[in-house]
Structure 1
Amino acid sequence: MRDVYVIGAGQTAFGSFPERGYRELFAEAYAAARDRVDHGLDTDDVDEAVVATLGVGGRQIGLSGPAVTEHVGLHNVPCSRIENACGAGGFAVRQGVQAIKSGMADVVLAGGFEVMTDMSGDTTKYWLGVSGETEWERLTGTTFSGVYAQMASAYLDAYDATPEDLSRVAVKNHANGAKNPKAHLGFECSLEDAVAAPAVADPLNLYHCCPTSDGAAAVLLASEDVVAEYTDERVRVAGVGAASERVGLAERDSYTSISASQEAGKRAYERARIGPDDLDFAEVHDCFAIAELIAYEDLGFCEPGEAPQLLREGVTDPNGDLPVNTSGGLKSKGHPIGATGTGQVVEVFDQLTGNAGDRQLEDPRYGLTHNVGGSGGATAVHIFEQEVAR
């Protein structure tokens, strides 16, 4: 099968934009991605589009893909809408890669968007809750913060970990997000502030939870047969992995790991022919602080129970051996559901092409993205490689 390359990627700022509609946000992200294509890209060059969105607020649930692609001039281009809860963006990228590898397309747009801040808190909780297990979680009043709080409680009971370790995730990611002009919560926080924040769902507090955000992100993919027409940069999609798991937390074998992440990571490593030790950095799904700790272990960065030690020792800091969430992650950068996974790819593309500004790492070769739906019902993992030294 043919290799697939990222030829352009861009996003809007993530945040609260009550005056902006979803079509406008998507158009900005698409334009930003096209601007990153070295040799230019005409709209007629795009063979297929895949758009990720949960449809928060009920806006254009049917045909939401064509609603945004037609708006940017992609007329008569086949467009599919992907909904896999918070993992939709990662699965949109995966479907774009599949279309190119199959030979059905040479250039694919994988994008995502969400508008989440124009509703009341109760309405937003409803739309977030539809991604949880309906009968035994959502209809009994359990929110996602409550579900992840159960995971956090189980983790703290099982391992040498404390609520302060959860706060360390927030401190690190806010420090990274403060250097990201696209971040929703682009400010630093102290460990003292993160520890003392108001409780949301014990043991999780306000600083352990990501914001709900508006925003869009777009990724342009091309086959090995045409990539040279568009760019001299060679950011290859080296590995792709995805898996699903039971949607409800109570139905699973473990509260302290996500089997879909483990399996998706395993498949991505195998296809990329590398292991976790070969990674230079990663963007992982930190909707809640506990999710980042669990991701370290599920993706093989360390053994079970050792994630807090990575944080304490600075391994996942920007100057550590394996920087994680240089963008600020969901915690600081933001979480507009459909755009989250594609936004992770934007950060990886920026890092691998030397365009990450104040967040730029030193000559990275391999970057990983990890995008989770719900509390782990679906996970997509991608590994990207910079093939040409700058």
Structure 2
Amino acid sequence: MSHMFDGVRIVGAGQATYAKKSDRSLQRLMYEAGSAALNSAGLSWKSVDGLAVTCFLLPPDNAPTVAEHLGLETRFMFQGLYGGASGIIGMAHAARAIRDGVCDVALIVAADSFDVAAHNETLDHFNGSIKEFMSPQGFGGANGMFALHTRLYMERHGATSEDFGRFCIALRENGLRNPNSLFKQPLTMEAYLNAKPIADPLRLYDCVMPCIGGDAIVLASEKIAAGLKGPSVRILAAEEIHNYPANDPYQVPGGWLGLQERLYSRAGVTPQQIDFAQVYDDYPVMSFIQLEGLGFCKPGTAHEFVRQHDLTTRGDFPVNTGGGQLSAGQAGASGGMIGVYEAVAQLLGQAGERQVKCRRGVVSGYGMIAYGRGLCSSAAILERVE
């Protein structure tokens, strides 16, 4: 079966070290993540002629000035404007450029240097609707907004705090096998339920820790990939959808229901043929909605799915095998790349102690929070090629 991205391979993945505090510049973080990804692929910086960048704190700089800092001459550029959906979207745009002969090797990189103060300041001015209509009312940032979604999901579908706790505990177990995770202690249900309240019903461990870090992958033409050692990864399908459903600001499902049919049809596989999922886990409730929207369970039943499946790296359906944002940390816009990095690392067999047996995986993204919900959703299905 032919696919939209035939002739393109993902050949490397890398991260910059995550930290709660650091004096590393944004460009340094991108260089570190990019270098790790290129080393993983067996390629040099000189081979890169395509660049996709996502970073909340980058302005007034932009993708061209990042290329200048990194010493790159590029024929393709992309700057992510879609929040946590940008990593997958940038990957897909770069893959089309390689497929069409625009460039040969593309670096997809995201990084940010966030702490709690920078995180809150950015959210207060994230877009016009938040700046003009929500921040002046003290809307409480993303925590307040997704507390409403969490409460609605609980009341509508019967999910409990323990269900969200099961999800967070599984991700923490995965994160403990990841040397780049910021959380180093196991999480118990007692600790989860007794954690500091943040925005009812959200508790401390339902919320990400803003941090400093970066993530990157490398795409190459099939011709170049054939000359490299080891396996590579192909993109079976990648989809994006925005403002779905339109004119319904407090609709919970997000865009994955709107892209699910195209995603699996173009990939030529079913959800039952997927070995793991890397979902955008800014809050457990949105991870539940992604598991539903990606076809692993029916809408409104993700809490039952979590009760019935082991989501750890030793389980029957691993989710967020590196700990995700909830246990590794959220490095700003790199929150939309951490899942992409982890999916590629798993499929390349480079995940170390957290490696799972896999041939195929799905990764999803979510971002650009506006009045009541995220406007941008993305997903991709990736497959290992020997």
Per the normalisation by structure 2, the TM-score is: 0.91
The ranges of structure 1 where at least 4 consecutive aligned residues each deviate by more than 6 angstroms after the TM superposition are none
2:36 is equivalent to residue 36 of structure 1: no
1:161-240 matches, cutoff 5 A: 161-240=159-238
Q: CA deviation at 1:336?
A: 1.3
Q: Is the 8 A contact 1:315 1:321 kept in 2?
A: yes
1:293 corresponding residue in structure 2: 288
Amino acid at match of 2:251: S
1:208-251 Cα shifts (integer Å, max 9, x gaps): 11111211111110122332123441311111011112699x93
Q: CA deviation at 1:78?
A: 4.6
CA contact (8 A) 1:93 1:342 kept: no
Q: Superposed, which structure 2 residues align to 1:205-354 within 5 Å?
A: 205-245=203-243, 251-252=248-249, 254-255=251-252, 257-258=253-254, 260-354=255-349
Q: Which residue of 1 aligns with 2:27?
A: 23
SS where residue 149 of structure 1 aligns?
helix
Residue of 97, 106, 109 corresponding to 2:107: 109
Q: CA deviation at 1:11?
A: 0.5
Work out whether residues 94 and 380 of structure 1, in 8 Å CA contact, stay in contact via their aligned partners in 2. no
CA contact (8 A) 2:87 2:340 kept: no
Seen in structure 2, the aligned counterparts of structure 1 residues 20 and 280 have a Cα distance that, compared at 3 Å, is same
Residue of structure 2 equivalent to 1:53:
55
Checking the alignment, whether the CA contact within 8 Å between 1:23 and 1:67 is kept in structure 2 is: no
The answer to whether structure 1 residue 366 and structure 2 residue 363 are counterparts is no
**8 Å CA contact 1:261, 1:380 repeated in 2:** yes
Aligned to 1:137: 134
Counterpart in 1 of 2:63?
Answer: 65
Q: Distance in 1 between matches of 2:38 and 2:175?
A: 24
**Partner SS for 1:291:** helix
C-alpha spacing 1:314/1:272, structure 2 compared with 1 (3 Å): same
Quick one: distance in 2 between partners of 1:244 and 1:94?
Answer: 15
Corresponding letter in the other structure for 1:137:
M
Instruction: Check conservation: 2:208, 2:326, Cα contact below 8 A.
Output: yes
CA distance in 1, matches of 2:345, 2:69: 26
Q: TM-score, normalised by structure 1?
A: 0.90
Q: Compared with structure 1, are the counterparts of its residues 268 and 4 closer, same or farther at alpha carbon in structure 2 (3 Å cutoff)?
A: farther
**Residue aligned with 2:235, SS:** strand
Structure 1 Cα separation of the partners of residues 256 and 292 of structure 2: 10
Uncovered stretches (5+) of structure 1, i.e. residues with no partner? none
Distance in 1, Cα, partners of 2:236 & 2:74: 30
My pick for the range that moved more, 340-349 or 186-195, is 340-349
1:237-270 deviations in Å (ceiling 9; x for gaps): 111011112699x933623x11x12223433222
Q: 1:265 to 1:330 in 2, by over 3 A?
A: farther
Structure 1 residues 81 and 314 mapped into 2: Cα distance closer, same or farther (>3 Å)? same
Q: CA RMSD in A?
A: 2.1
Structure 2 segments unaligned to the other structure (5+ residues): none
Structure 1 residues 247 and 376, CA gap change in structure 2 (3 angstroms): farther
CA distance in 1, matches of 2:10, 2:218: 6
Whether contact under 8 Å (1:151, 1:290) holds in the other structure is yes
Work out whether residues 310 and 316 of structure 1, in 8 Å CA contact, stay in contact via their aligned partners in 2. no
Structure 2 distance, partners of 1:298, 1:171, is: 22
2:18 to 14, 31, 34: 14
